[in-house]
């Protein structure tokens, strides 16, 4: 029997029992739609996290003082003092893999412009900081080495600070604001970066020369961070090993001594977040896959019922020349048709659900072509697997007994 004829016979059989066919498809529809939506949420979250971490500087390396243990208690990272400008000088002199290095000191306080004020933080850095962070200016200019040498009171401000201490339409360039009672002249406005992967507003910041912040605000020679970057991501691991060796030597640490600093790359953060996101996606997809299993069992049960109800029809077909293979293919095609139709409906609903989730809940979603193709293939396999045994039962019926079946 031709495949085209088998599909026509299968369609006629399904049309005779439209409600039953729809209910049979329901498990497949729900399962496929859930898988598509869950994978879309997982992939969207993964891409969003990667983009947010990349916005912090894709090749950035962060060096921090290690939190020491004093009297059995671990000290807060802000109170640990192990990094100084001499470490920055050592890295600049000895490193072969770093193309930009910046010390960093910060302080929280009030940014004041006339009657307007805003709680924010000031980051004291070098001229390399914007390069490390891949952070362009929206307007104005960046500070120069001469500003660092003279501890000049100039600054760059983020868009959040602009929005909160300047009336709409007022150009902040050239304006003087006060931070912790110290006047700073604004020479540039940073391009907006939005939130990072930790939910922190990257635009809620004021950037000034590190020498200015150390001399006029923190009154400390110690650094809270050292930021660095490589010209290429492939050099990051070499740079990390090199940094550890240089700083251990600079800090006179012995072989048995633990590092009094930590080195973290963006690649490590991306891998950590991606692994967590991937695990969550797999778990959600596995839960959604249970619906597919239930749908497959539903197909098998309905096909068994269909075989029983159509026993006389099977006997009649066999008596006029149909063989066991024809009967097997007939019922197998019906099962596959139910499964694939349910799968196609589920794919459409899953895509629609993903778009609605992004629109109403503002969760990032990303439709994966591979998940759509895989869902379709799984539906076809489900139809074959769960439809085979009922079809096999139908093909082995004795035509004489089938014709006399009541």
Convert 321-336 to b/e letters by CB count within 10 Å (16 or more is b): ebeeebbbbbbbbbbb
Mean residue pLDDT across the chain = 88
Q: Flag whether pLDDT at 79 surpasses 60.
A: no
Domains in the chain: boundaries? 3-52+281-403, 67-259
| C-beta separation of 52 from 200 below 8 A | no
Query: H or E segment at 60?
Result: strand 60-65
pLDDT of residue 206: 98
Express each pLDDT in 230-285 by its tens digit. 988 788 889 999 999 999 999 999 999 999 999 998 777 777 777 777 787 788 77
pLDDT of residue 278: 77
Between CA 327 and CA 318 the distance in angstroms is: 8
| C-beta separation of 339 from 345 below 8 A | no
Helical pair 18-55 and 324-361, crossing angle rounded to 10 deg: 40
pLDDT of residue 44: 87
CA distances from 15 to 9, 19, 20, 80, 304 (A): 10, 9, 10, 75, 18
Q: Flag whether pLDDT at 68 surpasses 60.
A: no
| C-beta separation of 14 from 303 below 8 A | no
What does pTM read for this prediction? 0.68
Between CA 112 and CA 180 the distance in angstroms is: 9
pLDDT of residue 71: 42
User: Of 57-61, 136-140, 191-195, where does mean pLDDT reach its minimum?
Assistant: 57-61
pLDDT of residue 316: 86
Alpha helix segments (H runs only) across 189-265: 210-213, 236-250
pLDDT of residue 117: 95
Q: Flag whether pLDDT at 193 surpasses 60.
A: yes
Between CA 289 and CA 227 the distance in angstroms is: 45
């Amino acid at each position: 029997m031709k495949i085209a004829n088998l599909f026509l016979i299968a369609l006629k059989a399904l049309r005779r029992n439209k409600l039953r066919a729809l209910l049979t498809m329901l498990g497949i529809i729900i399962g496929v739609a859930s898988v598509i939506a869950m994978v879309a949420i997982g992939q969207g979250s993964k891409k969003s996290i990667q983009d947010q971490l990349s916005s912090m500087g894709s090749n950035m390396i962060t060096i921090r003082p290690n939190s020491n243990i004093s009297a059995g208690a671990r000290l807060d990272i802000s109170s640990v003092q192990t990094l100084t400008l001499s470490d920055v000088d050592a890295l600049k002199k000895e490193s072969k893999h770093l193309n930009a290095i910046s010390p960093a000191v910060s302080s929280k306080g009030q940014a004041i412009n006339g009657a307007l004020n805003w709680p924010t933080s000031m980051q004291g850095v070098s001229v390399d900081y914007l390069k490390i962070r891949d952070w362009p200016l929206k307007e104005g200019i960046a500070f120069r080495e001469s500003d660092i040498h003279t501890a000049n009171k100039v600054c760059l401000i983020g868009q959040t600070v602009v929005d909160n201490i300047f009336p709409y339409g007022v150009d902040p360039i050239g304006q003087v604001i006060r931070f912790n009672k110290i006047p700073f002249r604004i020479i540039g406005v940073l391009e907006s970066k939005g939130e990072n992967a930790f939910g922190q507003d990257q635009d809620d910041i004021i950037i000034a020369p590190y020498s200015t912040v150390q001399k006029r605000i923190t009154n400390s020679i110690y650094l809270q961070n050292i930021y660095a970057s490589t010209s290429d991501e492939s050099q990051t691991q070499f740079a990390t090993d090199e940094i550890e060796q240089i700083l251990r030597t600079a800090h006179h640490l012995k072989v048995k001594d633990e590092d009094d600093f930590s080195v973290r790359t963006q690649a490590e953060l991306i891998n950590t977040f991606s692994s967590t996101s991937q695990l969550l996606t797999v778990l959600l997809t596995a839960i959604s896959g249970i619906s597919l299993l239930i749908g497959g069992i539903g197909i098998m049960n309905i096909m068994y019922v269909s075989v029983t109800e159509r026993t006389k029809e099977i006997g009649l077909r066999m008596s006029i020349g149909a063989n066991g293979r024809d009967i097997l293919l007939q019922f197998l095609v019906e099962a596959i048709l139910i499964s694939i139709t349910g799968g196609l409906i589920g794919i459409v609903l899953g895509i629609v659900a993903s778009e609605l989730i992004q629109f109403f809940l503002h969760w990032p979603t990303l439709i994966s072509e591979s998940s759509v193709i895989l869902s379709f293939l799984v539906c076809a396999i489900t139809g074959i697997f769960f439809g085979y045994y009922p079809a096999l039962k139908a093909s082995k019926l004795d035509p004489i007994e089938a014709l006399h079946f009541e």
